[in-house]
Amino acid sequence: MSTTFDREDVSGLFDDPEPIRVVILGSTGSVGAQALEVVRSHRQRFRVVGLAARSDAESLAQQAKEFEVDLVGIVEGELEPPPGAKVITGERSAAEIVEEATAEVVLNAVLGAAGLEATLATLKTGKTLALANKESLVAAGEYVMAKAGPGQIRPVDSEHSAMWQALEGTSPDRVSKVYLTASGGPFRGRSRNELERVTVEEAVAHPVWNMGRKISVDSATLMNKGFEVIEAHFLFGFTYDEIEVVIHPEGLIHAMIEMADTSVLAAVYYPDMRLPIQLALGWPERFRTADMNRISFSEGTSLSFHEPDVDTFRCLSLAYDAARRGDTYPAVLNAANEVAVAHFLEEKIGFLDIERVVEEVLDSHSPGAADLENVIEQDQWARDRAAEVTGKIER
């Protein structure tokens, strides 16, 4: 007889709950596609009512048809309305879908600072925000958090999901330290000399996570970890001195919180984004997914940790600096990085040029308070300045 309580085996004893209605923004990207996989595995739990994407009309149309959604949004281009669905186009399409949809949860998996508008629209409607778009918090964390009700934002980023899980039953003010783990990316252990010559294909080949190209490059430079430090600060109120990045190549522990009494709590799971996505959509329920890998501790799993090499991977220090300076510095950090990474992906600049561009833009920035108007204005300033700096070093 099984000693484990398995909800699936006794599901007949429970009234089947109504499925949770979800909107997925950025549905054709990596996180969006994995969210749809979660829904496919748990059709009785979730129903997708709205989908939005930037430009991949073909995939979006297929998804809309498969999930029989009510609303579909596309920013660039046109879309033949799928049967029974309404199509919304243009720059505000994601935000409009959020406003119109009858949904409990909105997953924001839009890429970059472009996701800020949908974040704010979701908070305004009172819907729960499952936030994969960390740039919303990097660029405008103070403003976003001021607009959010208690518990209205649920993290999707695996590290923040881990903190959130570890914090269940306690509160951030009982935490004395947070360890934000990083796999170290594909270039862990490389020298600056070696990094000068790495290619785009090497940079996007992440050893642990299968992700989109932009965030893969951010992971290779460790900028992603810097963004996550800022994200943790705003989501949970930890100070920057309380947040420490630690390299953990196995990628099994996603974050640890050290309590005031020195006890350390961690969330440990096989790196699979479907877990944090599913948790953010269905919290506090935990569902069994048949093909989810589990860690076999008895087979000799080892966990190792060491300090990040911030002299080689300078983006992490740039991010900490910008974070501590506050005001519009984090928004500028993010915008300059978006431009630099886009140029790197187009093979116009080298890998180490990313940090050079970001640093030069930060150095020439005149900061202001991080209200929405300033954030939007300085985001644009940083993009223009980054394009200028990038133009000078393009090869």
Closest among 151, 168, 137, 133 to 266, alpha carbons compared: 168
Stretch that binds Mg ion, among 20-28, 87-95, 149-157, 255-263 (CB under 5 A): 149-157
Residue 218, interface with Mg ion (CB under 5 A)?
Answer: no
Q: Which residue has the tokens 């490389």?
A: 190
Binding marks (x or -) toward Mg ion, 17..56, rule CB under 5 A?
A: ----------------------------------------
Residue nearest to Mg ion (CB): 157
Stretch that binds Mg ion, among 14-22, 89-97, 154-162, 377-385 (CB under 5 A): 154-162
Q: 88 to each of 66, 115, 280, how far by Cα in Å? A: 18, 17, 26
Nearer to Mg ion, 96 or 228 (CB): 228
Query: Applying CB under 5 A, which of residues 96, 117, 135, 157 lies at the interface with Mg ion?
Result: 157
CB of 392 to Mg ion, least distance (A): 32
Nearer to Mg ion, 56 or 250 (CB): 250
Distance of alpha carbon 12 from alpha carbon 18, whole angstroms: 15
Distance of alpha carbon 50 from alpha carbon 84, whole angstroms: 12
For the four alpha carbons of 280, 142, 120 and 150, in that order, the dihedral sign comes to positive
Nearer to Mg ion, 158 or 378 (CB): 158
Q: What is the maximum alpha-carbon separation in the chain?
A: 70
CB of 159 to Mg ion, least distance (A): 5
Length of the chain, please?
Answer: 395
Task: Please list every residue from 294 through 353 that binds Mg ion, using CB under 5 A.
Answer: none
Phi and psi, residue 214, nearest 5°: -65, -50
Nearer to Mg ion, 74 or 162 (CB): 162
Nearer to Mg ion, 223 or 342 (CB): 223
CB of 151 to Mg ion, least distance (A): 21
Nearer to Mg ion, 208 or 340 (CB): 208
Amino acid at 172: P
Burial 210-221 (b: 16+ CB within 10 A, else e): ebbbbbbbbbbb
Stretch that binds Mg ion, among 12-20, 67-75, 157-165, 213-221 (CB under 5 A): 157-165
Q: 324 to each of 98, 100, 269, 320, how far by Cα in Å? A: 33, 38, 31, 6
Nearer to Mg ion, 143 or 227 (CB): 227
Query: What is the size of the binding site for Mg ion (CB under 5 A)?
Result: 3
Inter-residue contact 31 to 110 (CB < 8 Å): no
CB of 228 to Mg ion, least distance (A): 6
CB of 119 to Mg ion, least distance (A): 17
Determine the Cα angle at 186 with ends 246 and 280, to 5°.
60
Binding footprint of Mg ion on the chain (CB under 5 A): 157-159
